[in-house]
Amino acid sequence: MLFFRHREFPENHLEIIAGPENSPLRFEQLGRLRLAEGRCFAGKLKEEEAVVVLLRGKVRLFSDHTLLGETGVRESVFRDPAWSFYLAPEEAYRIEALRESVLLFVTAQAQKGGPSVMIPPEKTTERVVGKGTFERVVRTIVGEDFPAEKLLLGETFNQEGRWSSYPPHRHERHHPPEEYFLEEVYHYQLEPEGGFGVQVFYTEDRTFEEAYLVRHGDTFVIPRGYHPVVAAPGYRLYYFWALAGEVRLLRFCEDPHYR
């Protein structure tokens, strides 16, 4: 399964949206956690690293009983910068909600990883990518220079009517140094929430060629293929993206038909 519609989920519960058990993903898993104010959620990682990204609210996170950090308030992904945490393999953690909060929880198979840290807004990088109708803002939270083992991730912001992941590109083959295999997952937010975007997905030989109407809270899995996305006029579109593979290098191949 590639496409997962948003659905309501209970508070104080880590809901797994997409992973190896229900999708083509092999290396990573995406979950979502909603905590009522004053509640907490605790767990322990196994042979996996994790990144926790705050979508809305305010939290503090403890790692092995030590305070790793406390976020600022994030009212919306469109209004406030990203606060995140990286958790090393085998780490025990506890998340406390200082306000009603929603978080994304992405994990990937890992043996070593890096040290557990909070990633405040000033540790992220932001740049404008593309031009004209496919200009967008890309915010990298965990880039190639971050000491993770498998994960690369961040956030992309489309203004109304604009495209991103454009020109269409893929990262499905191990063909160094031009292209490395990385699977990917997108999780969308829209402003206003009643809007929509369109996720296009196609393979080089066109044996698979589909378009999906995406709404606030939907998730899309990208195991291969080209995957441009566009926001409808009148609506801003955000998507969280997470990549994982054996090699943590984002080297992709653009579709020569649309350069």
CATH assignment at residue 91: 2.60.120.10
Number of structural domains in the chain: 1
pTM of whole model > 0.85? yes
Q: Which two tokens stand for residue 58?
A: 């305010």
Q: Phi/psi zone of residue 64: left (φ > 0), alpha (ψ -120 to 50 degrees), beta? A: left
Whether 206 has a pLDDT exceeding 90, the answer reads no
Report how far apart, in Å, the C-alpha atoms of 245 and of each of 15, 133, 147, 167 are. 23, 31, 15, 22
pLDDT of residue 53: 98
Q: Which two tokens stand for residue 12?
A: 């104080």
Q: CB–CB of 61/33 below 8 Å?
A: no
Residue 238: CB atoms within 10 Å: 22
Whether 255 has a pLDDT exceeding 80, the answer reads no
Whether 39 has a pLDDT exceeding 90, the answer reads yes
Q: CB–CB of 185/222 below 8 Å?
A: yes
pLDDT of residue 252: 79
Domain region containing 226: 3-258
